[in-house]
Structure 1
């Protein structure tokens, strides 16, 4: 199996599969593939022999923001190609997972993985109202053995934190971090804003050692900034309808 990330602003993950090799995705986010690649769905999470936890593993995946099934793409009868395009401007980051080396990823970050990658719920905190729509702050944990590709939105900034070194981060900007990084969700009292509604202002304290990946364009912030350009009820004018259709397609 060989993988290449193509493009810049809207990158594409292109995977070359040998005969019988396969790659898994959380939501079936296919962009294109060769005719001999077969799609199927499974609860196993991609681990060889169904070692991804079966039904209980699938339920943990759902709690982590994923779907009950993962989609598997297998090359049959010879080499095959499958590609997955990013949904919004940003980056696709490869990360190697091994026993004792897992990562925490934002809710919609996991794009694809090799067999053996197991996604489960990592953390979930609900917020009332605001731009989070009740979903709150959700992290997936990617563990197992293999390579995962993670989609991060906007520009990407990485830091390597030393032991005890802490970075305070807006939850939407948390893209991914090593399992060795400790995290706590801290409420700033007396401050309320449009992001969290009546729950006040929250920051994530990330404490090293380990690497963190921060994204510049949280999707809730993007949706909120585009809201004034979307028609409130129907297509009120041609320009608003055009913008709404374009943005709606990007966010789906």
Structure 2
């Protein structure tokens, strides 16, 4: 008998998707604060301290510990529970925060656990636990950048992830590995091993444009990869806004400074 609520769903849209959850009476879905798009009259919402799974051990101290872990992942201290308090089926919907795809994941198909980027979680059936996945290797913690803080989703219900751009699913065999930009790594199943490595080579690291580190994932298991991390899109928007406002980009400034220095050298200044 599953401990998570058995919810039904339908995903709408193409590049700006939302998921509509159908709840029977007394069924619930959990979500991060601010993700709700609309809900029908019979749906009641309640803010919960912690991960809203109801599985924290140790009473208040357990809830405080769970909330503290959520702060480390950059999430809110609180989650919201949406419950159907009506007599018939009711619906509540959650919208994606930026262009991309919503990935439905049935945790029963992945041994009850998947690991994902800290901002990938959208919503899940009540009973699914949302926690912090600690990495054992020190290199992952210090050099992983946007990819080193990972969440774990545990339980036997449905969970929904959101990722930017186009989503690629890779099934890795035992011993097979893949190197991924840390921001492009959305999530992976529990048996996949994960590490962060230096790209190698001074010129590649500083002038290659791909960052100093990449993630290495090794099978067996499934890996989800996104083509457009939000951080990458935000960087482009910020850079474009600076140019539109008459500002000088970092790359432009460094090139002009270099050319100016060369000119002064030849002119004898």
State the partner residue of 1:192.
206
Unaligned runs of 5+ in 2: 1-6, 58-62, 247-269
Q: CA deviation at 1:227?
A: 1.8
What is the rounded CA distance, in whole Å, between the counterparts of 1:182 and 1:86 in structure 2?
Answer: 28
Aligned partner of 1:96 among 67, 87, 106: 106
State the partner residue of 2:67.
58
Runs of 4 or more above 4 Å deviation: 193-196
Question: With structure 1 as the length reference, what TM-score do the two structures score?
Answer: 0.80
State the partner residue of 1:249.
none
Q: Secondary structure at the residue paired with 2:149?
A: strand
| Greater helix content | 2
Aligned partner of 2:51 among 45, 65, 74: 45
Q: CA deviation at 1:218?
A: 1.1
Aligned partner of 1:12 among 18, 22, 25: 18
Q: Secondary structure at the residue paired with 2:112?
A: coil
Q: Secondary structure at the residue paired with 1:125?
A: helix
Q: Is 1:73 the counterpart of 2:82 in the alignment?
A: yes
Q: Verify the 8 A CA contact 2:25 2:86 in the aligned structure 1.
A: yes
The range that moved more, 117-126 or 10-19, is 117-126
State the partner residue of 1:113.
124
Q: CA deviation at 1:125?
A: 3.3
The range that moved more, 3-12 or 139-148, is 139-148
**Distance change in 2, residues 1:33/1:160 (3 Å):** same
What is the rounded CA distance, in whole Å, between the counterparts of 2:206 and 2:33 in structure 1?
Answer: 34
State the partner residue of 1:209.
220
Please give the residue correspondences for 1:170-249 in structure 2 after superposition, counting only pairs within 5 Å: 170-189=181-200, 190=202, 191-192=205-206, 201-230=212-241
Q: Secondary structure at the residue paired with 1:42?
A: strand
Show CA shifts across 1:61-90 (max 9, x none). 222332211100111122321101111111
Q: Verify the 8 A CA contact 2:147 2:183 in the aligned structure 1.
A: no
State the partner residue of 2:152.
141
Unaligned runs of 5+ in 1: 238-252
What is the rounded CA distance, in whole Å, between the counterparts of 2:50 and 2:196 in structure 1?
Answer: 31
Show CA shifts across 1:26-62 (max 9, x none). 2241111112211111135232xx2145222222222
What is the rounded CA distance, in whole Å, between the counterparts of 1:225 and 1:231 in structure 2?
Answer: 10
Higher Cα Rg: structure 1 or 2?
2
**Distance change in 2, residues 1:142/1:185 (3 Å):** same
What is the rounded CA distance, in whole Å, between the counterparts of 2:10 and 2:182 in structure 1?
Answer: 30
Q: CA deviation at 1:231?
A: 5.0
What is the rounded CA distance, in whole Å, between the counterparts of 1:45 and 1:77 in structure 2?
Answer: 24
Instruction: Supply the RMSD in Å over aligned alpha carbons.
Output: 2.5
**Distance change in 2, residues 1:106/1:89 (3 Å):** same
**Distance change in 2, residues 1:4/1:151 (3 Å):** same
Question: With structure 2 as the length reference, what TM-score do the two structures score?
Answer: 0.76
The range that moved more, 102-111 or 56-65, is 56-65
Q: Verify the 8 A CA contact 2:143 2:213 in the aligned structure 1.
A: no
State the partner residue of 1:23.
29
